[in-house]
Structure 1
Amino acid sequence: MGVLFQHFPDSEAERDFVRSERADRAPAIRALIIIAIATLGSYIVMNPMHFPRAGVLVYTAAALAFIAILLGLFFVTKTEFYLARRWIDLPLFVAVLLGMIGLTKALIDQAAITGFPSHVMALIQMGILVIFASVAFAGNVFLFFLWAAGVLALFSAWLFSLPVSPIGKVYALTNFTTFLIFALYFNWEIDRRARGVFAANRALVAERRKTEELLYNVLPREVAARLKAGEAVADAFSDLTVTFVDIVAFSSLAQRLSPGHLVTLLNDFFSAADDCADRHGIEKVKTIGDAYLAVAGGMASRGLGGEAALRFARDLIEKVEALAEASGIDLQVRIGIHTGPVVGGVIGSSRLAYDYWGDTMNIASRLQHAAPPGGIAVSEATYFQTRHMQDYEPAQTTLLKGVGETAIHIARL
């Protein structure tokens, strides 16, 4: 931003600032207009007690014309056009200036009654006008300076045409210039502070968005909203499909590869798994060492049940095969899939994550151990959901640790 005529380098930021500042200041402008109209109305009522009839008629006509201009300004500030087009201030306040000149002339004609010399009356009226303008030129310092320079030039030319003593002219011009300088500084300072607040709020909003995006990377949006509302998050799912992926012989790989090489390999594997999960609309829950846990039909899943989980598993096996070929490392995975009831929710107060619990999770993990390298083992519940889209080996009953005898179906890939 510049020093005198401040301006945001980003045109969008400048446009947003102008709109917000004019919207914020519009109620104050309308309040001042109401005060001005009420004041003019009181003079219209009182003048017949002091002015001759001709003077009353001239003043009333000038006051009503000025009120009409002010009412026009009042209603313009309620429009979208006013918020978006700050240049409108200049023609509006040229009209206001003309209205004030007419009113001032009507008062000067009654100088013999009011006791105010013409240059003093003009000084008072123009002083009131520039103070009002310093508030009403919202987000518009440059145009206010331009308008004020025009007012000063007109006042100076009129003042020096009067039959007033030189010292009287100097004092009147000095006083008016002081009014004007104060009004200009007031307008500039309001604009400077408003821009500072706007920039700070804009930065705060940007940081809040970043924080929310980080939060949404960890938690589903619905869950994050519930947590922000202070709600305890706990959900029950009656038919959720769990996919558990594990790297075959990872301990052996860890012994053969350098730590940096191992981390790179894991990163490539997990990145491939994330891409597959996103493609098939299933929800990554977490990584556990070299294992990858995902669910279909959960809080943040687009894919439904076993079909999405199976597509994810087949896709991931192809990705791992490509990764193994590219790296020259014998990399394979085992995948277990089971469908059943699960409880989900968020617990704790730090490092928040939406997690899932229940026997279904344990069974998927055990099924992974029963799968062949580069293969997929599914439970009977998942088999019935996916047999129309996948050929399986004949079922075999296996004793799974912690689960008992379980019918396992191995996918033919």
Structure 2
Amino acid sequence: MQLQDISSRLIQSISVGICIVEAETGVIISQNDTFGTWFDTAVTGQVLDIGLAVAFGELPGRKPVEVRTKVKRRTLVIELSAHEALHNGTRLIVVEGQNISRLRETEAMIDSYSDMVDRRTRELEREKTQVEKLLLNIMPRSVYEEYMTFGSVAPRLFEPVSVLMLDFVDFTRMAAAGDPNVTVAELNDIFTAFDRISELHGCERIKTVGDCYMAVTGLPHPTSDHAVSAARAAAKMIRYLKRRNQTHEHTWTARIGIATGSVVGSVVGVQKYIYDVFGPAVNMAARLQAQSEPMEITICASMRDSVLDEFDISPARVVPLRGFGETEIAQMSEPGVNRRVA
């Protein structure tokens, strides 16, 4: 059949695959080399391969479809489209194919890169969250925000505050005599409970050093009831240890000292940095803790009036404290709890 309106040479030279099929019989009337290279079963004079026929079916009026074919061990993606034509009263279907393999490969690379970027973004978000949790474990949130904003933290004077210092009795002996894994696991459980108690009463846990636990009230935000808050937290820590000792094999006893005064807070270190506080109240709390008997809370005299309404306070006694000289101290306990009387 002669197709006067189509140049055979033009069809053979273009990179688009062309296949002309008689609509009624499905016989291939003409195709160019490009189409034949893609589909070796498409032969002029033969019925169009059933696989291709199914692929585009009644393509006229439909959207293009994609088919995959293998050419020299390489899989190509061919986009097929078709439209009807009429020649000398014969209805024809002209099938056009375009090799979109590179386009799909590029899209796949872009999708892969996008997935990689999304995955990396999620990983960075997780790392950021972990870093934030870690930093919030060693510094107050306001200090963390200042550090993230400016890259440094200016030392600040906080006054007045109350410093709670807790230390366990015979911890060194316990750690040496028992299984270190068990000892550390129990210490971690206890400190976790102390953190909850501190948070409940507005105490900011500053650090733990071995078996020593230090928290401060009135920092970073000033509060008028800092002494009472520290006293409540200390009493609840002692109460927690007593209850715990009733159900656990190992007995944990602690000494607590609470002092009011001023402290300076700042981030210390460059590579391995921590948030720490320094000042008279910190030193006083450490000295008072050393004056306590096991499961006892010792306070400075300036705290008496603040906590007298909620706790029993022993008569004040004067003791020499290193760095402070002769100092008035007292023991504090919850009402009805036995305490040492000077």
Normalization by structure 1: what TM-score? 0.55
Which residue pairs with 2:134 in the alignment?
214
Higher strand share: 2
Cα deviation 1:234-254 (Å, max 9, x = unaligned): 111011110011122334444
2:319 matches 1:395: no
SS of 2:276's equivalent in the other structure is strand
SS of 1:369's equivalent in the other structure is helix
User: What is the total number of aligned residue pairs between the two structures?
Assistant: 261
Residue 222 (structure 1) shift: 2.4
SS of 2:243's equivalent in the other structure is helix
Which residue pairs with 2:267 in the alignment?
346
Cα deviation 1:181-205 (Å, max 9, x = unaligned): 6655555554443333223222322
Cα deviation 1:16-35 (Å, max 9, x = unaligned): xxxxxxxxxxxxxxxxxxxx
Residue 264 (structure 1) shift: 4.0
Q: Aligned match of 1:367 in 288, 305, 308?
A: 288
Structure 2 runs not aligned, ≥5 long: 1-13, 15-58, 66-79, 338-342
SS of 1:408's equivalent in the other structure is strand
Q: Aligned match of 1:337 in 234, 238, 258?
A: 258
Which residue pairs with 1:124 in the alignment?
none
Which residue pairs with 2:85 in the alignment?
161
Cα deviation 1:162-220 (Å, max 9, x = unaligned): 449x9x986xx44xx31766655555554443333223222322222222222222222
Distance in 2 between residues matched to 1:199 and 1:205, nearest whole Å? 10
Distance in 1 between residues matched to 2:277 and 2:225, nearest whole Å? 17
Instruction: Say if 1:313 and 1:232 are closer, same or farther in 2 by CA, change over 3 A.
Output: closer
Does the 8 A contact of 2:140 with 2:204 survive in 1? no
Residue 372 (structure 1) shift: 2.7
RMSD: 3.5
Cα deviation 1:253-301 (Å, max 9, x = unaligned): 4455444444344334323322322332211111223221111111389
Which residue pairs with 1:357 in the alignment?
278
Does the 8 A contact of 1:247 with 1:331 survive in 2? yes
Residue 396 (structure 1) shift: 1.4
Distance in 1 between residues matched to 2:281 and 2:218, nearest whole Å? 13
Higher helix share: 1
Give aligned-pair identity as a percent. 30
| 1:14-413 equivalent positions in 2, closer than 5 A | 150-152=62-64, 156-158=81-83, 160-163=84-87, 173-174=95-96, 177-178=97-98, 187-228=107-148, 229-254=150-175, 256-299=177-220, 304-412=225-333, 413=337
Distance in 2 between residues matched to 1:315 and 1:220, nearest whole Å? 22
Instruction: Say if 1:206 and 1:327 are closer, same or farther in 2 by CA, change over 3 A.
Output: closer
Structure 1 runs not aligned, ≥5 long: 1-119, 121-146
Instruction: Say if 1:198 and 1:364 are closer, same or farther in 2 by CA, change over 3 A.
Output: same
Does the 8 A contact of 1:235 with 1:344 survive in 2? yes
Distance in 1 between residues matched to 2:232 and 2:191, nearest whole Å? 17
Distance in 1 between residues matched to 2:173 and 2:188, nearest whole Å? 18
Distance in 1 between residues matched to 2:172 and 2:136, nearest whole Å? 33
For 1:409, give the aligned amino acid.
A
Larger Rg: 2
Distance in 1 between residues matched to 2:177 and 2:117, nearest whole Å? 58
For 2:281, give the aligned amino acid.
T
